[in-house]
Chains A and B, each alone.
Chain A
Amino acid sequence: MLARRSLARIATQPSPLGVAPKNARNMATLREIELRLKSVKNIEKITKSMKMIASTKLAKAQRAMQSGKQYGLANSEIFQHAPSETPAKRKLFIVVSSDKGLCGGIHSSVSKATRRAIADTEKPVESDSPIMVIGDKSKMQLSRVLGKNLAMSFNQIGRDIPTFADAAGVADLIVKSDVKYDGISIVYNKFISAVSYESDIVDVAGENALKESAGFRAYEMEDDVTKDLAEFSLANAIYAALVEAHACEQSARRNAMDNASKNAKDMIDRLTMQYNRGRQAAITNELVDIITGASAL
């Protein structure tokens, strides 16, 4: 009984040889903590400045979005009054994102919406529906999953506020390409508020769908003019989607950088505490060494 208790006592006491000199280990980790602290402080500065830039860009982008949305609204009015008789089977998906990252879930939200729409069972679309992507980030994501469907991709849009010239160029290339489709679906991010967005799909009728709809046939339009209208309404819809997606991207980047700065600040506080505690422990150990050494003399 006594032997058992003494064994337990020996087990709990630290072995006299095994403990490494505390000073040495703390000094090494102190250096590491200092380096980490410096790098996290730099990161915090960068994310804070990115947040400032994104919030000024957001103000401008929101103004452009208010005026750009009118194009999209005027567009959709035509299609409301001239609904297509037969649902489009072969849809061309136009995915609107951008080239730059560090903006939260913007690109993946749009890519996921496209994948969901293609795999949709309620309103089935052909599995080899062509996809055209605006923006490198979504292009990367979609080329991995739906690479066979990709027909064309565009980039260098979204550096500044998108212009109608961008949208007209995209529409021009789409019409000139020999991609066959019945209707077009534009997948973009809808701006709900300065802190939230969600993916949305807007349908644009092709030239044939317009010609066949009853509302349109009430007017006798020349075929040429109908083709012009279809092309122009495509450019309109693309422009409205581009501008709104740009505003969403700026707001998402601002929020992401805001969160990153907050996290960096928390990390800095934690690391500073750790550093100070380590420093004080090292000083205390040195004092203890000195005092015991002095008392031995």
Chain B
Amino acid sequence: MSSATWRNFFTYNKYAQITARAVRQSLKESERVVAEKRGTTALKYQQWENGVGGPQVLLNPEEVKKVGKSAAV
């Protein structure tokens, strides 16, 4: 516990979210679907300098895109 090095890389909130995601993905299918809804976030943020806003950035950019069906199977 005292030799944990994760604190060098991210905050406690990020740590909690990662562990929560792991727990959610390990649930039974029916419970997992319900729990995934509780863990979704589409948050966007932008930095401001001197009254001017910067570009809006997605917090969690889409990681996995669903593989679409190609015409030539």
> Which residues does A use to contact B, with CB under 8 Å?
143, 147-148, 150-157, 159, 163-166, 168-173, 175-177, 222, 224, 227-228, 231-232, 235
Say how far B38's CB is from chain A's closest CB, in angstroms: 6
Query: What residues of A have a CB within 8 angstroms of the CB of B39 in the complex?
Result: 163, 165
Determine which residue in A155, A170, A172, A227 has the highest number of CB atoms from chain B within 10 A of its CB, and name it: A172
- Kindly identify which residue among B11, B20, B41 contacts A231, using a CB–CB cutoff of 8 Å: B11
Nearest 3 pairs of A and B residues by beta carbon: A147-B51, A228-B12, A165-B41
Render B22-65 as a binary contact track against A, CB cut-off 8 A, 1 for contact: 00000000000000001111111111101101001001100000
Query: Given the complex, which residues of A lie within 8 Å of B70, measured CB to CB?
Result: none
Inter-chain CA distance A170–B48, complex, in Å, is 15
Residues of B within 8 A of A173 (CB): 45, 59
Residue pair B14, A152 in contact (C-beta under 8 Å) = no
Partner among A148, A156, A164, A172 whose Cβ is within 8 Å of the Cβ of B42:
A156
Q: Find the B residue at minimum CB distance from A139.
A: B53
Assess whether A169 is in contact with B2, with CB atoms less than 8 Å apart. Answer: no
Are A169 and B51 in contact, CB atoms less than 8 angstroms apart?
no
- Give Cα A126–Cα B13 distance, bound, in whole angstroms: 28
Docked-complex contact B43 and A150, CB < 8 angstroms: no
Q: Name which residue of chain B comes closest to A228, CB basis.
A: B12
CB-CB under 8 A for A143 and B42, given A175-B13, A231-B12 = no
Q: Across the interface, do A170 and B51 meet the contact criterion of CB distance under 8 Å? A: no
Structural contact, B51 and A150, CB atoms closer than 8 A: yes
In the bound complex, CA of A169 to CA of B21 (Å): 13
User: Are the CB atoms of A232 and B13 closer together than 8 Å?
Assistant: yes
Partner of B13, one of A152, A154, A177, A231: A231
Q: How far is the CA of A166 from the CA of B53 in the complex (A)?
A: 21
- Pick from A152, A165, A171, A176: contact of B46, CB below 8 A: A152
> Nearest B residue to A172 by beta-carbon distance?
B13
The answer on a CB contact under 8 Å between A163 and B59 is no
Instruction: From known contacts A148-B50, A173-B45, infer whether A168 and B13 are also in contact, taking CB-CB under 8 Å.
Output: yes
Chain A residues with CB under 8 Å of B38's CB are 163-165
Provide the residues of chain A in CB contact with B48, threshold 8 Å: 143, 147, 150-153
Docked CA distance A172–B14 (Å): 7
A155 and B11 contact, Cβ closer than 8 Å, known pairs A164-B38, A222-B2? no
